[in-house]
Amino acid sequence: MRLGNAFFLRWVIALLLAPLMSVTLSFSAAAYDSVDYYSEYSDFLQGVPDEIAKALPEEIYSDSTDEQLYAVREMTSFGYVEEYISELLMGDIKGAVGMFFSICALLVLSSAVSAIRKSIGGEGLAKSFDICALSLNIALILSFQMSVIKAVSGFLSRLTLLTNGMIPLISLLYVSGGNVAEGSAGVGALSLFISFCENVCGKTLLPVVAICISFAVISAFSPQINMCGLANTVKKSYTFILGLLMSVMALIMNLQTVLSSKADSLSHRAAKYAVSSFIPVLGGAVGDSLRTVAAGVEYIRGMTGTLAIIIIILLLLPTVIKLLLAKTSINLCVFFAGLLGLDSEMRLLGEVSGVYGYMLAICSICSVFFIYALTLFVRCSAQMG
Amino acid sequence: MNGIFLKGLGLCVVCLVMLAVQKSLRGEFAFAIRIGSTLLFSSLCISMSTPIIKLISENGSPETNKYCRIMLKALGVVFLTGICTDACHASGESGLADYAENIGKLQILLMSTPVFEEILQCVWEMLSF
């Protein structure tokens, strides 16, 4: 009799929980379709700079996750990256070669004219002419630096804008996967880094560059006043401070991610234990369906995170290529200036080349930090599973 | 070999012979021959450097052309001032020669002033980012 009652009771519970089961199973069957991320995703794509948006495949704007994933796969192919880099090189090589030839032409003319000048006139006139020739060379070298400095400044502001646009999407996908604490830590660190990049890198890099170039100009005009040592101190201190701040932030971000991941894991395990204990038959099914949804969230996270990393790389590449080509042509000009015996111009060009190296380092560090944050976002597993 | 180059060297030898001959006859014409030969060689130098200037103006950026023009003008000023001071020194008027040199220096500085302004503007623009 007792066994019959227990059997009857189980059936009653099973019938009562049947609607709940149908809801959870349909939820799991939909997997990634259950996460409505399209509006945040489309907002993020709207924040992508126009020149990068043109290079993205059309499928990336589709509302189908499969098509988006297909586009991301296409963007990670060797052919796509090769085509993008070759297009950039074609555009930038022209500018770099133009800069090299323009500076070299003036250096050669300056050297030839100085040789002619030595045979005419007195010492005072010769000095005036040398100052005039030097100022012409400096003005030409500086006129080319403005475009490079503007490109770096534009890159930093576009990078911070792009990452700002990613925050709502990242927050949504963190929370959808049940990583509430991890999400708040990750997004908090990302916001901190955005403000750091905007206020520290964006606002200090260019003045530091300008100070170093100004010192080099002073040293070029009067070699007796050697400002190179001071310029080197400024550069070294700046890079040390930036490096230290970056390391501290990376460490904090890493530790916070690990701790919040553990906290999320603990709370979700407790919740799952409670569900499977209090719902006798369907507790396991609910757990399984949550695992499926978690897989869907991880799928979307992987896709969007990879897309964001690729966009950051696409944003970084033009600046890096421009800087590398400019640095190469300036280094060649340094060689020619040395060959022509133009010491002041050689020192100034050497300083400009060094400054390019610093700008390259800052751009790469900022991008790498954002890529690191996004990698943590992609690699963290959804806790609800 | 370039024809102008050989003609230039030939003219140099002719001027040398003329100077040597007139020194033994009438010394006062030496100055006129020197001035004439200087003008001749200046025009030769200008005509020889024309292809280089043309190459730069055709292939260089607008800034390069502008600065090349200023540099050549400055060289012209040095050249003219040099001729003038040499003439003053040859006539024993070293005071006048100093004045001529100062005028030349000032002219070169005046020509460089817009360039100094451009340099300052560039540095200021960099600092104001």
Q: Render pLDDT for A281-297 as a digit per residue (tens, 0 to 9).
A: 666 666 677 777 777 77
For the cut 60, the answer to whether the pLDDT of residue A20 exceeds it is no
Could you tell me which residue, A321 or B28, shows the higher pLDDT?
Answer: A321
CB-based contact A180:A174 (threshold 8 Å):
yes
Query: For the CA atoms of chain B, what is the radius of gyration?
Result: 20
Estimate the crossing angle of helix A228-278 against helix A202-221, to 10 degrees. Answer: 170
Q: Which long-range contacts (CB under 8 A, 24 or more apart) does A220-223 make?
A: A220/A134, A220/A138, A220/A344, A220/A345, A220/A347, A220/A348, A221/A131, A221/A134, A221/A135, A221/A138, A221/A344, A223/A343, A223/A344, A223/A347
Question: Cβ contacts (< 8 Å) between B67 and chain A: which residues?
Answer: 106, 136-137, 139-140
Q: Does residue A323 have a pLDDT over 70?
A: yes
pLDDT at A69: 79
pLDDT for res A29: 44
The radius of gyration of chain A's CA atoms, rounded to the nearest angstrom, is 30
Residues A24-39: pLDDT tens digits? 444 444 455 556 677 7
Token pair for residue B13?
A: 């030898």
Distance from CA of A100 to the nearest CA of B (A): 10
The SS3 call for residue B91 is coil
pLDDT at A187: 74
Could you read off the pLDDT of A240-251 as tens digits, one per residue? 888 888 788 778
A125–B123 CB contact, under 8 Å: no
pLDDT in tens, A256-268: 777 777 777 777 7
| pLDDT tens sequence across A298-321 | 778 788 888 888 888 888 888 888
A15: pLDDT confidence band, cut at 50, 70 and 90?
A: low
Q: Quick one: average pLDDT of A326-346?
A: 88
A207 closest CB neighbour out of B109, B122, B127: B127
| pLDDT tops 60 at residue B47 | yes
A201 in B contact zone (CB under 8 Å): no
Q: Could you report the per-residue pLDDT of A147-156, keeping only the tens digit for each? A: 888 888 888 8
pLDDT at A28: 44
Q: What is the pLDDT of residue B1?
A: 53
What is the CB-side half-sphere exposure of residue A117 using CA atoms within 13 A? Answer: 26
The values of phi and psi at residue A179, to 5°, are -95, 70
Q: Say if B85 is an interface residue toward chain A (CB within 8 Å).
A: yes
B108 to chain A: which residues are within 8 Å by CB? 125, 128-129, 131-132
Q: Give CA–CA dist B102/A242, Å, rounded.
A: 51
Among A121, A133, A143, select the one facing B63 at the smallest CB separation: A143
Q: Which two tokens stand for residue A219?
A: 């040293």
CA A284 to CA A277: how far, in whole Å? 9
pTM for the structure as a whole: 0.72
State the Cα–Cα distance between residues A46 and A43, nearest whole angstrom. 5
Q: Label residue A184 by pLDDT band (50, 70, 90).
A: confident
Using the predicted structure, report yes or no on whether residue A23 has a pLDDT greater than 80.
no
B71 phi/psi in degrees, rounded to 5: -65, -40
Q: Give the separation between CA A154 and CA A148, rounded to whole angstroms.
A: 10
A138 interfaces chain B, CB cutoff of 8 Å: yes
pLDDT exceeding 90 applies to what percent of chain A?
A: 1
The answer to whether the CB atoms of B126 and A213 lie below 8 A apart is yes
User: Two tokens at B63?
Assistant: 């800034």
Query: CB-based contact (8 Å) between A132 and chain B?
Result: yes
Angle of helix A180-196 versus helix A123-176 axis, rounded to 10: 170
Q: Between A and B, how many residue pairs show a Cβ–Cβ distance under 8 A?
A: 129
- From chain B, the residues in CB contact with A133 under 8 A are 71, 74
Q: What is the mean pLDDT of chain A?
A: 77
Which residues in chain B touch residue A213, judged by CB atoms under 8 angstroms apart? 123, 126
Identify whether the C-beta of residue A163 lies closer than 8 Å to the C-beta of residue A370.
Answer: yes
The pLDDT of residue A385: 57
Q: What is the rounded CA–CA span in Å between residue A227 and residue A191?
A: 38
Residue A282: predicted pLDDT: 63
Query: Is there a contact between A299 and A287 (Cβ–Cβ < 8 Å)?
Result: no
The pLDDT, as a whole number, for residue A188 is: 75
Indicate the pLDDT class of residue A275, thresholds 50, 70 and 90: low
C-beta neighbour count of A130 within 10 angstroms: 16
pLDDT top residue among A330 and A31: A330
pLDDT in the model for residue A221: 80
Closest CA to A48 of A210, A209, A161: A161
A73, A60 contact by CB (below 8 A): no
